[in-house]
Structure formats: C-alpha cells, structure tokens
Amino acid sequence: MAGPTIFSIGYEGRTVAEFVSALEEHLVQVVVDVRLHPISRKKGFSKRLLQAALSLRGIAYQHEPRLGNPRHNRPSFLSGNFEHGRTQFIQLMGEAGETAIGQLAELAEASTVAILCVERDSERCHRAAVTGFMSAARPHIRVVALP
C-alpha cells in the first residue's frame, strides 16, 4: 500500500483470534480503541484482555476516549439514522476530538493503524465520522474499512 493508511474495524461477530488475524493480515502495528469506555460483554474485548492478546502478537494498543461516541448520541446509530449520528458526533467531538484526530493522523504517518469499535460495519458506527473527518483534514491518509 502506498502512503499512510488507517484501517477501521469492528469486533462484532468475531472471536479475538479472528480479530487479531484480520489485523495481522493487514500488517497493523497499532490498534486505537475509539470506544468511550473500553469494556465489553464479549469475552476478550475489554481493554486489559484485548491489550494482552494484541501484545502477544506484537500489536500495540491505545485507548482514545476523546474519540468515543457519547451515550446520548448512540440512539441515532441504533435507530438507523447514521448520518444524523455522524453529524452529531462531529459537533460533540469539539477541540479535544480534533486534537485526538490530529494525533491519530501523526500515528498513521509513522505506523500502520487500525481504529476499533464494536459495530462491524463502519458506516453504522461513529468510526465513519472519525475517518471522514480525518480524510477531510488529511486527504493523503487512506482509510480502509475492514469487513
């Protein structure tokens, strides 16, 4: 792949092994968790266990709560009003979120990065807002949604 790339991946419907395998297939070096709270009822996807599983495979883990979707914005995504949810997320993100996206872009320029959330389809998730904002601000960074 030419130039910096950010992958977008959700763990819905995957085991930890399948998730890590998808990352390895794309030579991901750093996972940036964009869940507001890095906890999960799905075994292996809470922060500590996920970080340990990734570390065993040589993949770094970072949690970035400034890019997490606030609870009060989730109903738009759950009801299928994705465009409204993404627009609202960008408005809620504020300066702290913009700073976090700038730092994410710098990380992507130095290593292969994947951003992580729950929803498997990135268009149904706030990850699409994160990557859309990044694409507008840093068009040289390619965004690839992993199936």
CB 12 within 8 A of CB 118: yes
pLDDT at 28: 99
| Residue 109 neighbours by CB under 8 Å, 6+ apart | 4, 141
H runs (alpha helix) in the chain: 16-25, 47-56, 74-78, 82-110, 127-137
pTM score, whole prediction: 0.95
Is the confidence at residue 1, as pLDDT, over 60?
no
> Where in the chain are the domains?
5-145
Residue 131 has what pLDDT? Answer: 97
Question: In this model, does residue 133 exceed pLDDT 90?
Answer: yes
Average pLDDT over residues 43-47: 98
Residue 14 has a pLDDT of: 98
Task: Look up the CATH architecture of domain 5-145.
Answer: 3-Layer(aba) Sandwich (3.40)
